[in-house]
Amino acid sequence: MTRRAFITLLGGAAAAWPLSARAQQRERMRHIGVLMPFSAGDPEVEARKPAFEETLRHLGWTVGANLLIEYRLPGSDAESIRRHVAELVALTPDVIVTAGALVPAPVLQATRTIPDRDGECS
């Protein structure tokens, strides 16, 4: 390989490197925990989930692309709600969304902040 060809190759690689590095950097996947005091298959859930996800889509959040949603549907049993709250808190979502009057109190008892994946509270 001639010196000129080597320098041309090296220059081309150096120019392409920042582009490939930027292409590999993806937007951070956001994580939402949703806790509703309904059972799976409940008509209320079947109406709320698509409406929630459609609203998020209009705001630029797409499930699977830049958003992960963890749904928990414990019904109205207090023990089941506490168990599902503990699961969601352990997943360290960016936010926990609740519905109904039965759910916010157990969430607030479990956490007032959600630690990020580095262990710092937000």
Any bridge partners for residue 67, and if so which?
Answer: 30, 63
What's the average model confidence in pLDDT over 87-115? Answer: 84
- Taking CA atoms, 84 is separated from 30, 57, 70, in Å, by 20, 26, 11
The whole-angstrom separation of Cα 5 and Cα 99 is: 65
- pTM, entire model: 0.69
- CA dist 96 and 87 (Å) reads 11
pLDDT digit string (tens) for 68-97? 999 999 999 999 999 999 999 999 999 999
Count Cβ atoms within 10 A of the Cβ of residue 48 and give its class: 0-12 exposed, 13-18 middle, 19 or more buried: middle
Distance CA 24, CA 2 (A): 32
Q: Which residues pair with 69 in a beta bridge?
A: 32
Q: What are the structural domains, with CATH classification, of the chain?
A: 30-110 (3.40.50.2300)
CA–CA separation, 93 vs 48, rounded Å?
A: 20
| pLDDT tens string 12-28 | 555 555 554 455 556 78
DSSP 39: -
